[in-house]
Structure 1
Amino acid sequence: MFSDDSVESVSVPSLWKQSQHSEQDSKSCQTRQLHSADAEAQSVISSVSSTQTESKDKDEQTLYEPNPKELEKPELKHFLDRVVESVIREIVKNARSHAFDGFKVNWEDHNELVSCLHCLEHPSAKERDLHVTCVSWNCTGAVISCGFGRIDNGDWSTEKSFVCTWNLNRKGLSPTHADLVIEVPTAVTALCCHPDQPALIAGGLYSGEVVVWDTSRTQDTVLAQTGISADSHREPIYKVSWVPLQKKGVFGILSACSGGRILLWNLDQSSLILSTGYALVLQQVPHSSSAGFKTRGSSNIGVTALARSIWDSDTFLVGSEGGLLLRCSFSSQKMAVVPSEGQSVTLRAPAVFSFRKHNGPIHSIHCSPFHRNLFVSAGTDGLVHIQSLLQANPVLSLRVSDSYIFQVQWSPSRPLVFAAATSQGEVQIFDLGHESLRPAATIEKGHCGQAATCLAFNSQNTHLLAVGKTDSTVSIWQLSGDLTEQGPREISQLDHIAGQVAE
């Protein structure tokens, strides 16, 4: 039914391959044609200019050749002819002047050496126009105490006053609201905080009383007072100071008044007991070639300033309203030539040496904390005298004010720095390490005519300085590192100053 049969093969050529091949050959590249063009550079056109230097291959070529047309101007020639003599005269004068000797230009940014942190005041004292008469830091350096009174025409007022304290570390510090206000029946003339116990404050009053306040008490803050007796002072007290006694950690209170008596009190629990008494009598004062005074009778010497040496426990210094400056000894056994007035102790004559007399009452004395022989004194003559215990004449005297100086004090951290409070309202801070003896810084805050009556460096926070004024304010100033950080050669410079022999 079916059978094999062979037939010839038939080939059919592919038209698709031919059509594709022909199509590919006819198509062009699918990328666009790249076009290029030439453009000029965008650089800035430069030009060559000549320099003002001389060419090495030319000899004696002038740097500048003036334009002849400029010299032909008659107004320029007339101006030069008119001013040339005056200019030459001023140049010669400046070359001979010494006005800027020691002056160094500071091209850096000016840094303030002092800045005001707080301005403290008590509203009641402000209303009654009381003056800040004394300030003192407590032993921690956190609390500032100030006493109020009034100084009018050189006299102390007898009206009631205050003692106020502020804790600067307190979070809620209020400049117009004191942490503690103590009402005092008369003007406060002196304050001194205890060197070890932060709550104790010794004070001197216009009435002659010595008072110790305990600020830790919530009710009656008066811990002890002398009252009015034969042993107590009978004139205004100008200075009180805590004095270490023979028993370790025990302190007495040294007080001085304008009547010439200096008394040492022992604090026995809640009472003050007179331990030793001294009296300054003019005829018992030792003479020196430069003391400049004459002995007339046995009149008492009114004490207006007192300072204790921290280097020698037997030495203290006294300044008087007559300008006398005396070195005294606690161990003196010489009897004072004064009439007996019922005192429980016999008064001694402590003066052992006289320094050159000041021209007026002495308001302040302070011993250097860095040199055993140096101290400063100041008063109504406007001069600060830097003096040595070893000679009568000052080693250096500085004109600080044209009026009174109420207080002067060495810095507790810089051996060559001290500050002075003046009746003109300024506080001048001097740095003896400078070539110039001009003030390194000046505090002038306050109204015109308000005197700076007192100041106190903070021995713990040495960058703080408290200043009291007659406008009832106590300002706290922050000192920069230039005034508080000790330099490497300051002690040797201080030794050099102490070794100078005054002319």
Structure 2
Amino acid sequence: MFTDESVDSVSLQSVWRKSEQATLESRGCQTTALHRTEAEVQTVFTSVGFSQTEPQDDSAQQLLLHPPHAPGLRDFLRRVEDTVIRELVKNARSHAFDRFQPSWEDPSQETSLVHCLRHRSAQENELHVTSVSWSCTGSVVACAYGRYVTPPPSLSLSPSWFHMRKPLFKDTECVCMCVCTRRIDDGDWSTKRACVCTWNVDLRSLRSDQADLVINVPTAVTALCCHPTQPAWIAGGLYSGEVLVWDTSRTQDLVLAQTGLSAEGHREPVYQVAWLCLQKKGELGVLSADSGGRVLLWTLDSDRGSLVLHAAYALLQQQLPHSSSSRYKARGGSSSTVGVTSLALSPWDPDTFLVGSEGGLLLRCSLASRVPAVTAWQDCSVPVRGPAVFSFKPHGGPVHSIHCSPFHRNLFVSGGTDGMAHLHSLLQAHPLLSLRVSESYVFQVQWSPSRPLLFAAATGQGEVHLFDLGRRSLRPAATLEQSGPAQAATCLSFNRRRPELLAVGRTDGTVSIWQLSTELTERSGQETSVLEHLNLQVAE
């Protein structure tokens, strides 16, 4: 059925390959001939230089390696060794030079105005300087602005009104909630925005009419205090009752922490803020006081950006020392709370602080108090204490300022609307010395950081008086006056790092930087003993 058979092979030529080969073409090109050039250069002049030090004197080295033999030297050193070591240990334990600050500046025989700082926007809005504070480096001055207005014309300036609000200048019939005011026609409180400004006075590029940094704030800034160790941190109190901490080293969102308008915070304007060392935690907190009688201690929680309430104190009329309670009623005080208008911390005792009130009261208080406050303040997360432990003779009006002496643990000075400055001892109720500073109000008093007997007082007449308690005369040792129309000096601040600099804030929105003379900054050897003698006096 099937058989083998062989057939011839058939081959097919590729038509595609031939068609492709037919379209191939060869092309070629050649560049032009390359030109090459060689060049050499040679310097015309050559020079060789060298130096040689002088021959080394090996005598000093030989003296150290082979000290000369001095008869009796070794015995003398061994004999005085114990005495020298004992004296060195005594010097190491001595505190004689703890507060000594050498002056690197050239002696100045005159007091002069070196800067007049102003923020144009603040002046255009007629804002007043309410507080000034120097940074811990002594280079930056921070300035708080705000503006307040007077009560309605129908409201008389009675003692009860003084208890409610803090007056400003007598001449212009103005009343102020902190340290400044402005009169308007509608008799309502101003709601304009305010600000905090800073200037670095050491910069060569300093512009007196333009601040280095401006922090806009929604309401008036009533208190300001720079951090004692962090140059960029500033604590501030607002008219709204808020307490804030700004970090000026940030580029955005300068608010490091704030209290907000919480139920356990301030409900009245904050008159004073101060940095306080927390002994148990080893950190710094913020102590704030308001016109509602609340004194609150806050700790900083930078992670959450908030100030956390650490301790709370309430100044109540029924819990004041007996003498203060009777004086308070005699002055027409009807409120159960004591409005705080000024506060000062003792640099010697971390638990002691002083407060001044709208009614003129001066009270010594203790942060360590465990006396429960008799108050209706029920929505507080910490126990509320009554801190008042001792009362002093009151002023004739609201107490604007208190400052404790940095050179004596018992002395402090106070000033108020009665135009008086009182020198007090913490151990006596009556003042050791009373000075008539001004016919107007005294807005701030502050001790010099370098002179134990010198303090400054800012007045409503625009003058800043410097009193030297070592002089026989009670007249000012110097008076700082600015040219032009008189503007009330609402605040002042000595530079702790550079005691010759004094910053003064005024109601025209300017901050004056004064350089004090050497006489006002350098202490004499007898000042501490004179201060101790004043402390030992018995008040009349």
**Fold conserved between structures, TM > 0.5:** yes
Contact (CA 8 Å) 1:291, 1:354: kept in 2 or not?
A: no
| Residues 1:464 and 2:501 are matched in the alignment | yes
| Residues 1:292 and 2:346 are matched in the alignment | no
Q: Could you say which residue in structure 2 is the equivalent of 1:83?
A: none
Q: Could you say which residue in structure 2 is the equivalent of 1:283?
A: 318
Give the alignment partner of residue 194 of structure 1, picking from 206, 209, 227.
227
Contact (CA 8 Å) 2:462, 2:488: kept in 1 or not?
A: yes
Q: CA deviation at 1:247?
A: 4.5
Q: Could you say which residue in structure 2 is the equivalent of 1:103?
A: none
Deviations 1:225-248 (A, max 9, x none): 111111110110100000001257
Give the alignment partner of residue 179 of structure 1, picking from 198, 204, 212.
212
Give the alignment partner of residue 267 of structure 1, picking from 278, 294, 300.
300
SS at match of 1:424: coil
Letter in 2 for 1:221: L
Give the alignment partner of residue 389 of structure 1, picking from 426, 429, 432.
426
How many residues of Structure 1 are paired with residues of Structure 2 in the alignment?
393
Note the aligned Cα RMSD (angstroms).
Answer: 1.6
Q: Could you say which residue in structure 2 is the equivalent of 1:490?
A: 527
Give the alignment partner of residue 447 of structure 2, picking from 398, 410, 421.
410
Listed as ranges, the matches of 1:358-373 within 5 Å are 358-373=395-410
Give the alignment partner of residue 247 of structure 2, picking from 214, 226, 230.
214
Letter in 1 for 2:113: C
Give the alignment partner of residue 365 of structure 2, picking from 308, 328, 334.
328
Letter in 1 for 2:269: P
| Residues 1:223 and 2:220 are matched in the alignment | no
Distance 1:322 1:298 in 2: 11
Distance 1:416 1:290 in 2: 33
Deviations 1:258-308 (A, max 9, x none): 000000000011210000000000110012399734387771000000000
Unaligned runs of 5+ in 1: 1-110
- Which stretch shifts more, 334-343 or 214-223? 334-343
Distance 1:290 1:356 in 2: 12
Q: Could you say which residue in structure 1 is the equivalent of 2:186?
A: none
Q: Could you say which residue in structure 2 is the equivalent of 1:502?
A: 539
Distance 2:526 2:514 in 1: 26
Give the alignment partner of residue 134 of structure 2, picking from 133, 137, 142.
137
SS at match of 1:491: helix
Contact (CA 8 Å) 1:259, 1:303: kept in 2 or not?
A: yes
Letter in 1 for 2:456: A
Distance 2:270 2:329 in 1: 26
Q: Could you say which residue in structure 2 is the equivalent of 1:154?
A: 175
Contact (CA 8 Å) 1:425, 1:448: kept in 2 or not?
A: no
Contact (CA 8 Å) 1:266, 1:275: kept in 2 or not?
A: yes
SS at match of 2:393: coil
Distance 2:414 2:443 in 1: 10
Letter in 1 for 2:513: I
Q: Could you say which residue in structure 1 is the equivalent of 2:121?
A: 124
Letter in 1 for 2:131: C
SS at match of 2:385: coil
Contact (CA 8 Å) 1:278, 1:348: kept in 2 or not?
A: yes
Distance 2:345 2:484 in 1: 34
Show structure 1 runs of 4+ deviating over 4 A: 295-298
Give the alignment partner of residue 252 of structure 1, picking from 261, 275, 285.
285
Distance 2:493 2:475 in 1: 21
SS at match of 1:294: helix
Deviations 1:37-94 (A, max 9, x none): xxxxxxxxxxxxxxxxxxxxxxxxxxxxxxxxxxxxxxxxxxxxxxxxxxxxxxxxxx
Contact (CA 8 Å) 1:290, 1:356: kept in 2 or not?
A: no
- Cα 1:159–1:436 change in 2 (3 A) is same
Percent of pairs with identical residues: 65
Contact (CA 8 Å) 2:317, 2:325: kept in 1 or not?
A: no
Letter in 1 for 2:465: Q
Give the alignment partner of residue 441 of structure 1, picking from 460, 465, 478.
478
Deviations 1:159-184 (A, max 9, x none): 21110000111121110111100000
Taking structure 1 as the reference length, the TM-score comes to 0.76
SS at match of 1:402: coil
Distance 1:297 1:359 in 2: 17
Deviations 1:355-401 (A, max 9, x none): 01111100000000000000000100000000000000000000000
Letter in 1 for 2:319: Q
Distance 2:433 2:201 in 1: 37
SS at match of 2:530: helix
Taking structure 2 as the reference length, the TM-score comes to 0.71
Letter in 2 for 1:279: A
Contact (CA 8 Å) 1:288, 1:392: kept in 2 or not?
A: no
Deviations 1:164-221 (A, max 9, x none): 0001111211101111000000000000000000000000000000000000001111
Q: CA deviation at 1:326?
A: 0.3
Letter in 1 for 2:310: S
Unaligned runs of 5+ in 2: 1-107, 150-173, 178-189
- Which stretch shifts more, 246-255 or 476-485? 246-255
Contact (CA 8 Å) 2:118, 2:210: kept in 1 or not?
A: yes
